[in-house]
Structure 1
Amino acid sequence: MHERDYQRRYAPDQPTRFLPDTLIEIVREVRLERPPEHALFDFDGTLSLIRQGWPEVMIPMMVEILKQTGTGETEAELTELVTNFVMELNGKQTIYQMIRLAEEVKRRGGSPEDPLVYKKWYHDRLMQRIAHRREGLRSGRLAREDMLVPGALAALRTLKDKGVRLYLASGTDEVYVHEEAELLGLDGYFGQHIYGAVDDYKR
């Protein structure tokens, strides 16, 4: 049995606010008497823009696979279905989106591949899309700032200066999180505390 799917913790109508001149949304106000001892960051979309556009790779791939089951559902119907569960599972390891894909294939009478196979197919497509970004950073053709979420570096520096221990955890495969954190010059902020997904996701 895999992890429980994402569940909303806050009602959609709960008032929130954005930090001035940013896209950072404050869901719950917290007043701290002193800086926190630890801070945990997600990677893709929180710090890094290297994999920006990943839904445009994952969702069409899944729709293609589900269309092959021959249920007669329209592409629009399948796209809505896939978009909903992909976004609900966003933030978890990629494998859980692929597990859900396999379940949807089976539900339609198909014979699904192992979720790890689907994950490899997706990752191969994604790497084709983002290869120029990774190579651009590696060669210096792209500035690191161009592939960082605005304000991310300043936030890390501020926390580090206050003695906060920083942790990086991502649903992206761990080997690529390490590589891309290094390409962006972020590895020094986290040291050994960089974590990502592994194929043996049941551990």
Structure 2
Amino acid sequence: MSIDPAPAATLSEAAREIVEVGRFLSVRNFVPATSGNFSRRLDARTAAVTRSGVDKGELVEADILVADIHAPPPKGSSAETPLHLQLYRDRPEAQAVLHTHSVVAALLSNLRLAEGELVLQDFELLKALGDTRTHEAAVSIPIFPNDQDIPRLADKVTAMLAKRTDLVAYLIAGHGLYTWGRSMAEARRHVVALEHLLTYELEKMKVRR
């Protein structure tokens, strides 16, 4: 099935969306200090990305850079920007990518790293993820070991995405969550839903000890 391309966004529109989501996620402590990075597709060739070293709750339009999806990241952007650009190349429908650093995402991804994935099932909130339409679904979130070699990590993610067209997120162990959506609103919804589900899984592990 072909996917109709989303209308192009202007840099000003994208910056406004990024600034707003930064404030939203910051007050929930999903991006402490200067952690995390966000992006918004502009068109088939370019994306707006956050500048490195900025508190995401205090972003302004000047902190938003333009990146060529098929070129090296712009100067001043996060070292992890290639992971965003790779997602736009691999997922033409993706319009926004959000990377967060919550305690629960870092902790649970470390605890489940040996399994290579976190399987979420029988939650009503699964219906907030992508095209999932029933709580009876099982949603697998891959977990990758943390790696300072970002191109190597991006290659691993690309290989997984090629096999898993259903994916809407992945975890990096001890690091955080990457998720994306067909709009900034959908990407934000994925963050909120996954943070809740990850918290539930972590609490369940405590109860069972």
For the superposition of Structure 1 and Structure 2, which TM-score range results when normalised by the shorter chain? under 0.3
Q: Select the structure that is richer in strand.
A: 2
Larger relative contact order (CA 8 Å, sep ≥ 6): 1
Q: Rg: which structure is higher?
A: 1
Q: TM-score, normalised by structure 1?
A: 0.26
Q: TM-score, normalised by structure 2?
A: 0.25
